[in-house]
Amino acid sequence: MKVASLAAGVILLMVLWGALLPFADRTSFTIHMIAHMGVVAGAAPLIAIGLSGTRLDLPARLPWFSPIVASLAELLAVWTWHIPALRALSESTVAIASIEQLIFLVAGLALWLSCLGGLGAGRDGRRMAGAVGLLFTSMHMTLLGALLALSPRPLYGNGEVTCFGLSLSPIGDQQAGGVIMLLVGAAVYLAGGVSLLATTLNSNGLETSGRRGW
């Protein structure tokens, strides 16, 4: 399963970075958001599952590398790269766009690996911290997505863009991108947080039942 997950994550990255971004209209905020969510909410968790328990499992080597720290780092990365001036810079320069995508991958992978990885000892504590980190990330992505979707004026660009053959106005393009963040990003992180919380509660319940039976 880990090998398949790792392969799926790498293939998804290849599709996003090798097929979508080079040939799509990079000035489209919707295209940007598809790539962004594909990296942090698609490829990153898949790759993290594949790397957990290996020598590249950083949480197992760095105890301070907690889900809370990683969630704050991702918040900084996500909100910083959606500042209008940085978005315009990223859209105009391939080198800056590449740096942006790498930062999204590193931040997303750091968060998911900090939640899913680590040594067997202390896993319950890390799962609980991971649940908090993922739920916090879901909340701030919900907030950013809502702000973008409900904004009365466009924050990015001032001309029509093309998204998969469709012409979109600046405000329509921004609203579509915000909705994608709401539907994909917020939902995936929410599901991940709830799943970790449920796993921890079930684990503790089984341990308690075992002690009583013993």
Instruction: Answer yes or no: is 212 within a domain.
Output: no
What residue numbers bound the domain in which 38 lies? 2-207
Q: Tell me how many domains the chain contains.
A: 1
Nearest 10 degrees: Cα torsion 200, 75, 180, 198: 0
pTM, two decimal places? 0.89
Task: Please check whether residue 8 lies inside any domain of the structure.
Answer: yes
214: in domain: no
- What tens digit of pLDDT does each residue of 139-191 get? 999 999 999 999 999 999 888 999 988 999 999 999 999 999 999 988 999 99
Long-range CB contact pairs, 126-130, < 8 A, 24+ = 126/59, 126/66, 126/67, 127/196, 127/197, 127/199, 127/200, 127/203, 128/196, 128/197, 128/200, 129/66, 129/67, 129/68, 130/67, 130/192, 130/193, 130/196
pLDDT at position 159 is: 87
What is the model's pLDDT at position 43?
97
Residue 121 belongs to a domain: yes
| Domain membership flag for residue 213 | no
Residue 105 lies in a domain: yes
